[in-house]
Chains A and B, each alone.
Chain A
């Protein structure tokens, strides 16, 4: 690929670059896409896996998966959102396979009181100390960890979370609420009151 063409590719926005790639798949073009997104994907994998070596392997596999499935991307969402979904699902699958699933029973008839509880749990969660939060996240089920990171670290809106998780609005809110509850429960177990 000529230097001029390489510069032209770098000037394209994400969506146009993906269209170019779908028209003509070649590793050099994919390299431009890789350079744009690798940091986001790597950080997401480190947050989810909590280990840089595992994160490195995950990033490798995620980009290969992206390359193999790029022709299936239908532009209904932003490319970034699509890649985020691949990243989240791949990390989750990996962590689920490598970690025994923790089961925590939560009542299902909580939807009505959800809005009231939101502020209280949110305020409590966001007042945790950073070092304690790391411990809590490490002990949390990967799916819950992913949801909390999506909401509070990556600042995804409920709408964006709906796209990534493939769920409806109330289901997304319910997941966030349950994840918050479980996180606080783990926090209380790790750090007993008064200590």
Chain B
């Protein structure tokens, strides 16, 4: 069976060389995002508590400075 015309119009040129760099750059970025999502979604509560500290307003923090932690009871 002759399939001439379809074969004749088949594209034959090479894909542009810079395309590889673009694709791999995007893949690396996507991988970074996927890892971040994985880390965050796997244990989001842990991630929040380990990596974020909730601090009060400035005057509250200053007020806390004067208070010393209670001493352990003497035996």
List residues of chain A with CB under 8 Å of any chain B CB: 25-27, 30-31, 34-35, 38-39, 42-43, 46-47, 52, 56, 59-60, 63-64, 67-68, 122, 126, 128-130, 133-134, 137, 148-149, 152-153, 155
Contact = CB atoms under 8 A, between A and B. Distances in A.
A126 B2 CA distance: 7
A52 B1 CA distance: 30
B5 A67 contact: no
Nearest to A153: B6
Contact of A39 (B4, B6, B14): B14
Instruction: Say which size band chain B's interface belongs to.
Output: 20 to 34
Contacts, number: 80
Contacts of A152: 3, 6
A21 B20 CA distance: 18
Given A59-B19, A153-B6, A47 B11 contact: yes
Given A27-B31, A126-B2, A126-B4, A47 B20 contact: no
Contact of A43 (B11, B23, B24, B30): B11
A178 B49 CA distance: 62
B27 A30 contact: yes
Nearest to B25: A27
Given A126-B2, A137-B9, A153-B6, 19 more contacts: A26-B31, A27-B27, A30-B24, A35-B20, A38-B15, A39-B14, A39-B15, A43-B12, A52-B13, A59-B15, A59-B23, A68-B34, A126-B5, A128-B5, A129-B5, A133-B5, A133-B6, A133-B9, A153-B7
Interface of B: 1-16, 19-20, 22-24, 26-28, 30-31, 34
Given A25-B31, A27-B31, A60 B23 contact: yes
A126 B3 contact: yes
Contact of A134 (B7, B9, B31): B9
Contact of B1 (A25, A126, A133): A126
Contacts of B7: 153
